Structures are given as C-alpha cells and as structure tokens.
Amino acid sequence: LEDRTKIDLIVIGSSAVNPITGARVGKGEGFAELEYGMMRQLGMIDETTPVVTTVHDCQVIEKGLPPEGKPMMLHDVPVDIIV
C-alpha cells in the first residue's frame, strides 16, 4: 500500500448503465465502489480519473436508471465512457 502509483483510467463492471447520466448498476456486492473509495483515499485517483465500463447494447438503458425517486447515492460510481 505504500506504492501510490497514479492510475490513469478505471475499468469497472456494470450490469446496466445510463449513457446520459452515467448511472450504473454494478454486480451487486459494492466491491467496485469500495475499491474506488480506497484508491481515492490513497490519492491514486481523483475526480478527473475517467471511469470506463464495457456492456452489451441491451445493457444500455436511458429510462428508469436510476429508478424514479431513487437518485444515485454519494458512494455510487458513475461511468464516463461506455464501450
């Protein structure tokens, strides 16, 4: 943990993603958010570090993600780029 290498890009898993807001549904355990938070705390990434996900076309959802009345939480990691 003493190695504080600056990370240029993060690739994160997603089950579904909104291309307009960057909101994503992860794999259900919160590990991506935990790892993201740890890297932020260690100074290895910051708010300018791009977050990328790869999904199939059917996993790109513009309506209903996040569900109406349930906004993204502060610890949720949105994506910047969808491949």
Per-residue pLDDT of the chain in tens (83 residues, 90 and over written 9): 577 789 999 999 999 999 999 999 887 778 888 999 999 999 999 999 999 999 999 999 999 887 787 777 777 889 999 99
pTM above 0.85, yes or no: no
Q: Alpha-carbon distance 33 to 29, whole Å? A: 9
Beta carbons within 10 angstroms of residue 6's beta carbon? 9
CB 30 within 8 A of CB 69: no
- The rounded distance, in Å, linking the Cα atoms of 73 and 70 is 8
